[in-house]
Amino acid sequence: MPSRVPEGHERGWIIPIGGAENKENDRRILERFVRVSGGADADIVVIPTASRVHETGPRYEQLFKDLGAARVTVMDFDTRRDCREPGRWKRIEEASGIFFTGGNQLRLTTLLGGTPVAKLIRARNAQGVTVGGTSAGASILCEHMIAGGDEGSSIVAGSVRLAPGLGLTNRFIIDQHFRERDRLGRLLTAVAYNPFAVGIGLDEDTAAFIGPDEVVEVEGSGSVTLVDPSEVSFSSIGVVEDGQPACMLGLRVHMLVTGTTFNLQTRVASATALIEAKIESKE
């Protein structure tokens, strides 16, 4: 469960990224991550545990330094024993931003799940620290994590595998590489299993910046498919056999791009900033 926000604090930003974010030219997603993590004072810990590519951690370390972060540390976890080291806890307690790279989300959960480090990261986010991740590092952020599933656009019983995630929030469930890998069906199925959570499908080079006010702000070159089940009136997911299509009635779907928002509390989407930006560009 998400950690309780201490009195006098506000929850830090939660920033899932759909993967393949621009690292060369238009680095606005990573630039904004640094900005909300403290800007020139940003102290960032990069956790590349999901990846088995040795260069992943050092690459993000250099990227965040180039973008103006004051301090960046790569902290990998090869065993669950690593999660008990006081030196690692101290470094996470000092950080103003924590970033999970892509790779395999089950590698992350099997190494970090249920450890003091996972508990500390939840607590630090509740105290105001920014926590984000890309691809697999995005999937792990929520309480219910998509661990795998089938391609396609239909709700099909048994087409998605769920596992416990890091648990920063229980308000939404994330899928990434969304349009590129045809993942609408598995996100819809995941939402059908738990209609409390909002489904957020992130295209590549696209991020959801979710602030302390629980408003989703979109950043990047792609779109966010947002599935709101709050008005679902009927679902057959509990009675059909695995492999069979299921029915959901009353589902609401929003397609969000940069300049649009969605309030997770009121369930209201808005394009005000997008419209204002278009008007300004014509003046």
Number of domains in the chain: 1
d(CA 266, CA 61): 37
In which domain, by residue range, is 220 found?
14-282
Task: Say which residue, 214 or 194, is predicted with more confidence.
Answer: 214
Q: pLDDT (tens digit, 9 = 90+) per residue, 120-160?
A: 999 999 999 999 999 999 999 999 999 999 999 999 999 99
What is the SS3 assignment for 252? strand
Q: What is the pLDDT of residue 279?
A: 76
Annotated catalytic residue 177: yes
d(CA 149, CA 170): 20
Residue 126 belongs to some domain of the structure: yes
Q: pLDDT (tens digit, 9 = 90+) per residue, 222-271?
A: 999 999 999 999 999 999 999 999 999 999 999 999 999 999 999 999 99
Region of 227 please: left (phi>0), alpha (psi -120 to 50) or beta.
beta
pLDDT band at 278 (very low <50, low <70, confident <90, very high): confident
Residue 225 belongs to some domain of the structure: yes
Annotated catalytic residue 96: no
Residue 162 belongs to some domain of the structure: yes
**What mean pLDDT comes out for the span 163-188?**
97
Residue tagged active-site, from 177, 219, 223, 254: 177
Annotated catalytic residue 135: yes
- Name the pTM for this structure: 0.97
CA-CA distances (angstroms) from residue 182 to 98, 153, 202, 229? 29, 7, 11, 20
Q: Which amino acid is at 231?
A: E
Residue 159 belongs to some domain of the structure: yes
Residue 8 belongs to some domain of the structure: no
Residue 84 belongs to some domain of the structure: yes
Half-sphere exposure of 255 (CA within 13 A, CB side): 5
| Domain CATH code at residue 208 | 3.40.50.880
68 pLDDT more than 80: yes
Residue tagged active-site, from 51, 96, 135, 139: 135
Residue 59 belongs to some domain of the structure: yes
Residue tagged active-site, from 21, 61, 204, 219: 204
Q: Which two tokens stand for residue 21?
A: 């974010």
Residue 192 belongs to some domain of the structure: yes
